[in-house]
Amino acid sequence: MITVHRARVPRHRALLFAACVLFSSPVPVAAQADAPQASARPVNQDWPAYLGGKDRTLYSTLGHINKSNVTRLSVAWTYDTGDHAEFQANSLVIKGVLYTASPTRKVIALDAATGKEIWRFDPTMVRPGGDAKRQRGLVYWESGDDRRIFTGAGPYLYALNAKTGRLIPSFGQDGSIHLGAGIEVHDQESPPSILINTPGVIYRDLYIVGGTTNAPGTIRAYDVRGGELKWIFYMIPRPGEYGYHSWPPEAYKTTGGASNWSGLALDEKRGIVYVPTETAGPDFWGGDRHGMNLFANSLVALEANTGRRLWHQQLVHHDLLDKDLPTPPVLLTVNHNGHTIDAVAQGTKNGLLFVFDRVTGEPLWPIHGRPVPQTDLPGEQTWPTQPFPTKPPPLTRQLYTEDDVSNISPEAAAMTSLRYKQVGSYGSFPAPSLKETIIFPGFDGGMEWGGAAADPDGIYYVNVNEIPWIYQMVATRRADGQPVSMGERGYTIHCAYCHGLDRAGDPAAGFSSLLDIAERSTETDVSRVVEQGTGRMPGFGALRERQRRAIVDFLFGKEQAAAAYLEGGRAERGVRRDEPPYSFAGFRRWFDDEGYPAIKPPWGTLNAVDLNTGKIKWKVPLGEYPELTARGIPPTGTENYGGPVVTAGGLIFIGASADETFRAFDRETGRVLWQAKLPFSGNATPATYMVDGKQFVVISAGGGKSGRPAGGIVVAFALPD
């Protein structure tokens, strides 16, 4: 039996701060007196799109809050959504109204100056079961008096009246469309299930979006008024399409994934949409998809009006390690070798930053293929090299070495040193093997979904993780060579990599235990989730119904003989020849006995990179554990989720860290100028806006990551009147 090592969260870190502490006065830190003042203060300034704009720069021209006065920042208002889950929404602010997506997919409109609720839309009142978690934002469109909010719930896209929150009947069928309708999927009668965790983007009157799915990934464009499908781009090419020969001939029929879940960027002037993609499925077995696998793990530039491919760059070849491109591209302008270049910057889970000319797709600095370890698993083929940029330098360490063993205590040093010697480390691309090894950077970055910020000077700001994980593959047949039951095999292949081979999950990582699933849920509800997906989990609608039913029966301890799963008179013999012989052993962070990352700090950092020169300008820890600071250990940084906002006031605002703290950094030096406690960790990207001449900074505080308590509170900060 394989032992799944799950994260141990320190008991002293699992307690929720008392409300009286949470909303006490912010903790001021030394401020700069020479911060620039805004030359003109508009009465109102919106935050009209996800991450601030379609270029995804997370930059605001507001400077009312700046380095000279940020120490006076305090809570202006709060709003409790009533949900308790991962609240990751980057809210929109338009015409004095703040629109946010709650942890259970409700859309809520608030007065942006006071936090008073105006309306709310609950998709479960339209279709039960559409409350999938992890919705990171919404999309706004207007034409005259026609103002709409687009949101996803389950496999549906809804169009809401921005003034009232009511469905717009003329859109699709009574206000919604099925996101899988019109997609060609081999040997599947019903449309595939597609979930939107990260919102799409508006180009003219088109809503362009990807989404996570177990079917072949696609990018689609819909008419914003009626919901008609206008164009579709298949990420796993079909016969005759570019990239088809980078797969086995039948891959477009049998392989899923390669979708876009991390978001899109749009060059509106040129009409180009930039699409980062994930790995193909199954994530950790490529024996049935030998080849480079375009357009998985790629940055693809599409003509926004037609979906035509303009150029692409694949940043991981034949991915076997879940190295999705995890963050939206950032469009910025740089001075490169004396020339002004409109560029697109794409970060990776490995902490690498690739920068391209956004028109031609040519890299600003050379990219070299480096040899990586090769697998010894029969039937698998590791791609011999992987791309690495020559500039900028990596933002994380690229290999766990003996110098990286933990130094926070003698016990941690001894434990991590022993494990390192036992299992070894082969960097960010270890070869698939039945042996355990350290994978570093780990499965959650490097960079993550919160996005990166960029200012007009060409400086790129991003937070990264430096957490080691343990990687291992396991055989899906028993030791005697006999196949396991259909349900257990299906669970091992499709579910165990998140919930563990022992079904105990990893609560610290957000993966729930399934051991007591029968006490918490019904077979009907679990069947729906397996088919449609929820939150980070994709739907498995592409599996045959009997396969899904066998998995559910296995979870509920009532799996029947294989003959019970008949389809058309043909008995399933327990193993399909097209199912992989090896499966991933599960996501396992590597922690020491106290529950801290098993590596020498820093564990999380905030970085400024000058993309004019390709050099790192500064790097500072992001987050700290006060109990370690009290032991004389300098701030270590923490695992972090959610991105930064940079402003003309010379500030960077970011939550993200696992210490329930919201911070403002000096964008020139990386020095902390201000910080305040939040009710839950701010694992979301903040937004900033102005209403009636007053600037606000708002963040969704939901926690739920890194083993932290979960909630659902919007917190807005402003200077005192």
* DSSP single-letter state for residue 431: P
Cα(364)–Cα(584) distance, integer angstroms: 36
CB 655 within 8 A of CB 627: no
Element at 694 (helix H, strand E): strand 694-703
**Confidence check: pLDDT of 574 > 80:** no
Using CB atoms within 10 Å of the CB of residue 452, give its burial: 0 to 12 exposed, 13 to 18 middle, 19+ buried. Answer: buried
Domain with CATH 2.40.128.630 in the chain: 1-90+450-467+601-721
Strands 473-475, 437-439: pairing kind = unpaired
**d(C-alpha 102, C-alpha 119), whole Å:** 13
Dihedral of alpha carbons 613, 614, 620, 622, sign:
positive
pLDDT band at 565 (very low <50, low <70, confident <90, very high): very low
- Does the pLDDT value for residue 678 go beyond 90? yes
Q: What is the mean pLDDT of residues 643-655?
A: 98
449 vs 502, residue with greater confidence: 449
pLDDT of residue 550: 85
Specify which of 24-33, 93-102, 478-487 reaches the highest per-range mean pLDDT: 93-102
pLDDT average, residue stretch 33-46: 59
Given a cut of 70, whether residue 30 has pLDDT beyond it is: no
The one-letter code for the residue type at 278 is E
Rounded to whole angstroms, the Cα distance separating 124 from 104 reads 9
Alpha-carbon gap, residue 662 to 678, rounded angstroms: 7
The CB-based long-range contact list for 368-371 (8 Å cut-off, 24+ gap) reads none
Residues 263, 279: Cα–Cα separation, whole Å: 15
Q: Among 55, 43, 225, 47, which residue's Cα sits nearest to residue 147?
A: 225
CATH architecture of 1-90+450-467+601-721: Beta Barrel (2.40)
Predicted local confidence at residue 18, as pLDDT: 36
Report, as an integer, the average pLDDT of 156-177: 98
In this prediction, residue 40 carries a pLDDT of: 52
Residue 573 has pLDDT above 50, yes or no: no
Structure tokens at 5: 């090592």
Q: Average per-residue pLDDT in the chain? A: 89
Dihedral in degrees, nearest 10, Cα atoms 25, 26, 32, 38:
-90
CB-based burial of residue 20 (10 Å sphere; 0-12 exposed, 13-18 middle, 19+ buried)?
exposed
For 236, which DSSP code? S
Specify the pLDDT at position 702.
96
CB of 170 within 8 A of CB of 153?
A: no
Residue among 219, 209, 443 nearest 324 (CA):
443
| pLDDT tier for residue 61 given thresholds of 50, 70 and 90 | very high
Residue 561 has what pLDDT? 52
The first and second tokens of residue 117, run together, are 């609720």
How far lies 706's CA from each of 467, 597, 683, 688, in Å? 11, 11, 10, 26
User: How much of the chain exceeds pLDDT 70, in percent?
Assistant: 88
> Which pLDDT value is given to residue 495?
82
Residue partners of 516: CB distance under 8 A and separation at least 6: none
Name the residue type at position 494: H
Reported as a pLDDT band with limits 50, 70 and 90, residue 37 is very low
Q: Note the pLDDT tens digit of each residue in 605-631.
A: 999 999 999 999 999 999 999 999 999
Question: Furthest-apart CA pair in the chain: how many Å?
Answer: 79
Q: How far is CA 298 from CA 141, 185, 236, in A?
A: 28, 22, 12
pTM of the model: 0.86
Dist CA 198 CA 213 (whole Å): 13
- Tally of CB atoms within 10 A around 618: 19
Q: Which pLDDT score, from 0 to 100, does residue 24 have?
A: 39
pLDDT tens per residue, range 117-141: 999 999 999 998 766 678 999 999 9
How far apart CA 673 and CA 375 sit, in angstroms, is 48
Which residues are 98's β-sheet partners? 93, 110
Q: How do the residues of the chain divide into helix, strand and coil, expressed in percent and rounded to 5?
A: 10, 35, 55
Q: Pick the closest to residue 575 from 479, 482, 501, 475 (CA basis).
A: 482
Supply 97's token pair. Answer: 């109204």
> Does the pLDDT at position 148 exceed 60?
yes
DSSP one-letter code for 393: P
- The DSSP symbol for 338 reads T
Q: 34-38, 65-69, 399-403, 456-460 — which is least confidently predicted?
A: 34-38
The span from the CA of 162 to the CA of 151, in Å, is: 11
CA distances to 131, 409, 441, 643, 707 from 596, in Å: 33, 11, 16, 22, 11
Among 596, 659, 693, 633, CA closest to 27:
659
Q: Once rounded to an integer, what is the mean pLDDT over residues 174-194?
A: 93
Angle, helices 486-494/545-555, rounded to nearest 10 degrees: 90
1-20 pLDDT, tens digit each = 222 333 333 333 333 333 33
Q: Where in the chain is the domain with CATH 1.10.760.10?
A: 477-579
3-state secondary structure of 554: helix
In three-state secondary structure terms, 689 is strand
- Give the pLDDT confidence of 218-275 residue by residue, as tens digits: 999 999 999 999 999 999 999 999 999 999 999 999 999 999 999 999 999 999 999 9
Question: 21: helix, coil or strand?
Answer: helix
Strand blocks (E) in 195-267: 201-203, 206-209, 218-223, 229-234, 265-267
Give the residue from 349, 444, 443, 437 showing the smallest Cα distance to 400.
437
- Residue 420: its pLDDT value, please? 96
Q: pLDDT tens across 707-716, in order? A: 899 999 999 9
The amino acid that residue 60 corresponds to is S
Q: Give bridge partners of residue 677 from the DSSP assignment.
A: 661
HSE value, Cβ hemisphere, 13 Å, CA-based, for 376: 4
Structure token pair of residue 174: 């009574």
Compute the distance between CA of residue 340 and CA of residue 158 in angstroms, rounded to an integer: 41
The Cα–Cα gap between 438 and 413 comes to 16
The whole-number pLDDT of residue 19 equals: 38
Give CA–CA dist 22/15, Å, rounded: 13
Please, which residues have CB within 8 angstroms of residue 333's CB and are 6 or more apart in sequence?
340, 341, 342, 343, 456, 458
- Residue 69 predicted with pLDDT over 80: yes
For the ranges 191-205, 277-291, 531-545, 691-705, which has the lowest average pLDDT? 531-545
What's residue 560's pLDDT? 64
**Mean pLDDT, residues 517-544:** 77
Contact 681, 663 (CB under 8 A): no
pLDDT given at position 128: 85
Which one-letter amino acid corresponds to residue 592? D
pLDDT-derived band at 356 (thresholds 50, 70, 90) equals very high
Q: What integer pLDDT is reported at residue 509 of this predicted model?
A: 58
CA–CA separation, 191 and 172 (whole Å): 16
Q: 171: exposed, middle or buried (C-beta count within 10 Å: 0-12, 13-18, 19+)?
A: buried
pLDDT at 36 over 90: no
Q: Is 59 exposed, middle or buried (0-12, 13-18, 19+ CB in 10 A)?
A: buried
Q: Which CATH number fits domain 477-579: 3.20.20.60, 3.30.470.10, 1.10.760.10, 3.20.20.80?
A: 1.10.760.10
- For the stretch 465-493, pLDDT in tens is 999 999 999 888 776 666 677 788 778 76
Token readout for 531 is 């088919």
Strands (DSSP E) contained in 19-136 are 27-28, 59-60, 74-85, 92-94, 97-101, 107-111, 117-121
Closest to 258 measured CA to CA, from 201, 204, 214, 193: 214
Residue 334 has pLDDT above 50, yes or no: yes
